[in-house]
Amino acid sequence: MKTERLVLHFPKEVADKPIVVNLVRKFDLDFNILKAAITPEEEGIMVLEIRGENRSFDEGIRYLREVGVSIQPLSKDIIWLEEKCTHCGYCVNFCPTSALSMVEATKVVSFDSQKCTTCGICIEICPFKAIEFRF
Amino acid sequence: MKSIEEINEKIRKGEVVVVTAEEMIEVVKEEGVKKAAEKVDVVTTGTFGIMCSSGIYFNIGHTKPKIKLGGGTVYLNGVPAYAAYAAADVFLGATALPDDDPRNKNYPGDFPYGGAHVIEDLVSGKDIRLTAHAYGTDCYPRKFLDAYININDLNEAVLFNVRNAYQNYNVAVNASNKVIYTYLGMLKPNFGNANYSSAGQLSPLLNDPYYKTIGIGTRIFLGGGIGYIIWQGTQHNPDVSRTERGVPKEGAGTLAVIGDLKKMSPNWLRGVSVKGYGVSLAVGIGVPIPVIDEEIAFYTSVSDDEIYAPVIDYSKVYPNRESEIIDFVTYKELRDGQINIKGKKVPTNSLSSYFKAREIAETLKNWIKSGRFFLTQPSAPIPGVESGVKFKLFSGREVSQNEN
């Protein structure tokens, strides 16, 4: 079994086609949609947690690439800019998955990209703009 | 009893004993007030938080031909500045916004750039675009100026904050059923979270609750450089309810401070964008407290579990100037991440940085120990509890519709 969180970019030409559903139909994969959006340029962006047998997983990913979807690991998407962070910790309790946390002894904020679901609430609220989205 | 001069002599000789307000808690716990007062000469404090009543003034020098900015308009990177001094002086407040910022028209507003960001950029050494219109006089004929200025080319550049370092503050919650956006951040409905902003046990005025050593003329750490306390801050309100050890249980004293902007650093002066509220400046301030006697040793040993803050509803009570306090909670509870409100466990969020407050207290400690920073005797005290100084509510006579 394999579980991965991936960012899928659907170019304009395929943004309106049923693609993700084929992960279930053709490759017997489970997925959980963490985020979905269409940009003003009509490119689709979807953050998925995909789960399945190793072989089907790899075949599913190959299928997505073949139809023109580009894929990145999720961790690259939310960037914590440590040099801009003042470690106020304001974001910590807003973060739904504790990807942002405060180290008690040092009072320093840390970011665990593996736990991040890219919900973006930290970006909305950080007064110091210490967190950014990067697609 | 120790005098400031005796402490300064110890600094000169390299014999001074300095601890941070956090370390002082342990010193007094282990050795008692009497021994602590003998042993420790200075306690350093620190706070790094969002302080809206901040601003800068500077002098740009004279252009050729000359221009009189006074009475005209000045924009800095598109942000309006105050130009009602003489020819070449400009004041910029932290919360100023460009004329074309949509504010809260697109609610909640993002406020990406304003006065405080200009201050941060200027301190960072970035060029700032100054655009000025003047009406022209015989002695100052020029009517328009569009130029890049840099902090290094200015005459005086001064940080001048009329209210900073609040002695204690509210804890904000939201009793309504919709999200609200305040200067204490985003508040989820039905007491979804509680936001606060104080360095607590490290905060300057909480370590000298009756302003016995902190006064007009006190030399301080300000924005990474050296500054001075020049007056009590606006809304200074010493006569509030206090705990047995004298610590105010709500917002009380405040400080007006000043310092050379050219010696400051963007590490300690940061522009912030508070969603739905506006732009403000995060300021780093540290005040040294001379341990002149046992009483001061006692005051400086205050810890987070002995400092209470009032929990206030910002959906109705705060905006309508009502006085209901839901409860008092300690900074220990707040910093541990959860408080109890009406039987509900509510997560807490801090807007001020304890990490940076600690860094300020450590920096100031090192400055004093290395002989770079000497203490000052205040020229005059700031008003205390007995002064009769009170924060008055608005009492202006509102103009009725008939008078319009």
Cβ atoms of residues B285 and B220 within 8 Å: yes
Which of A81, A84, A90 is most worth mutating to test chain B (most B CB atoms within 10 A of its CB)?
A90
Exposure string over A61-99, b if 16+ CB within 10 A, otherwise e:
beebeeeebeeeebbebbebeeeebbbbbbbbbbbeeeb
CATH number 3.30.750.210 is the correct assignment for the domain at A78-133: no
Residues of B in contact with A108 (CB under 8 A): 355
CB-closest option in A92, A124, A128 to B275: A124
Q: Which amino acid is at B355?
A: F
Which of A93, A95, A133 is most worth mutating to test chain B (most B CB atoms within 10 A of its CB)?
A93
Closest of B221, B181, B233 to residue B52, by C-alpha: B233
Nearest CA in chain A to B338: A93
What is the residue extent of each domain of chain A?
A: 2-76, 78-133
Q: Compute the residue count for chain A.
A: 135
What is the residue extent of each domain of chain B?
A: 4-47+165-263+292-387, 55-158
Residue range B214-238, pLDDT digits in tens? 999 999 999 999 999 999 999 999 9
Cβ atoms of residues B49 and B65 within 8 Å: no
CB-closest option in A87, A92, A106 to B353: A87
Q: Which amino acid is at B282?
A: A
Per-residue pLDDT at A135: 60
Residues of B in contact with A103 (CB under 8 A): none
Q: Chain A within 8 Å of B371 (Cβ-Cβ)?
A: no
Distance CA(B346)–CA(B351), nearest Å, equals: 16
Closest of B136, B124, B117 to residue B76, by C-alpha: B117
Distance CA(A84)–CA(B368), nearest Å, equals: 28
Closest of A92, A94, A131 to residue B335, by C-alpha: A92
Q: Tell me whether residue B52 is one of the annotated catalytic residues.
A: no
Identify the burial level of A126 via C-beta atoms within 10 angstroms of its C-beta, where 0-12 means exposed, 13-18 middle and 19 or more buried.
Answer: buried
Q: Which amino acid is at B353?
A: S
Which of B22, B124, B349 is most worth mutating to test chain A (most A CB atoms within 10 A of its CB)?
B349
For residue A102, what are the contacts with CB-CB under 8 A and spacing of at least 6? A87, A89, A92, A108, A109, A110
Which of A86, A91, A101 is most worth mutating to test chain B (most B CB atoms within 10 A of its CB)?
A86
Residues of B in contact with A127 (CB under 8 A): 50, 185, 272-274, 280, 282, 351
Matching fold, domains A2-76 and A78-133 = yes
Cβ atoms of residues B330 and B338 within 8 Å: no
Which own/partner contact pairs does B385-389 have at CB distance under 8 Å and 24+ positions apart?
B385/B210, B385/B238, B385/B239, B387/B238, B388/B239, B389/B232, B389/B236, B389/B237, B389/B238, B389/B239
What is the rounded (10 degree) CA torsion for B297, B301, B306, B311?
A: 100
CB-closest option in A93, A107, A127 to B274: A127
Q: Compute the residue count for chain B.
A: 404
Put simply, whether the predicted model's pTM sits higher than 0.80 gets the answer yes
Cβ atoms of residues A30 and A50 within 8 Å: yes
Residues of A in contact with B48 (CB under 8 A): 86, 88
Residue range B125-149, pLDDT digits in tens? 999 999 999 999 999 999 999 999 9
Q: Chain A within 8 Å of B337 (Cβ-Cβ)?
A: yes
State whether A86 and B351 contact (CB < 8 Å). no
Per-residue pLDDT at A125: 95
Closest of B207, B275, B258 to residue B45, by C-alpha: B207
CATH of span A2-76? 3.30.70.260
| Per-window interface: B 26-55 vs A, CB < 8 A | 48, 50
For residue B373, what are the contacts with CB-CB under 8 A and spacing of at least 6? B11, B219, B226, B288, B364, B367
Task: Provide Rg for chain A, Cα atoms.
Answer: 17
Nearest CA in chain A to B182: A125
Cβ atoms of residues A96 and A119 within 8 Å: yes
Q: Chain A within 8 Å of B8 (Cβ-Cβ)?
A: no
Per-residue pLDDT at B404: 62
A&B contacts, CB < 8 Å: 61
Distance CA(B176)–CA(B396), nearest Å, equals: 30
CB-closest option in A87, A106, A129 to B356: A87
pLDDT tens digits in sequence order for chain B, 404 residues long = 899 999 999 999 999 999 999 999 999 999 999 999 999 999 999 999 999 999 999 999 999 999 999 999 999 999 999 999 999 999 999 999 999 999 999 999 999 999 999 999 999 999 999 999 999 999 999 999 999 999 999 999 999 999 999 999 999 999 999 999 999 999 999 999 999 999 999 999 999 999 999 999 999 999 999 999 999 999 999 999 999 999 999 999 999 999 999 999 999 999 999 999 999 999 999 999 999 999 999 999 999 999 999 999 999 999 999 999 999 999 999 999 999 999 999 999 999 999 999 999 999 999 999 999 999 999 999 999 999 999 999 999 999 888 76
Cβ atoms of residues B282 and B50 within 8 Å: yes
Closest of B112, B113, B95 to residue B56, by C-alpha: B95
State whether B275 and A125 contact (CB < 8 Å). yes
pLDDT(A8) > 60: yes
Residues of B in contact with A88 (CB under 8 A): 48, 350-356
Q: Which of B139, B380, B393, B399 is catalytic?
A: B139
- Å between B213 CA and nearest CA of chain A: 29
CB-closest option in A90, A106, A124 to B350: A90
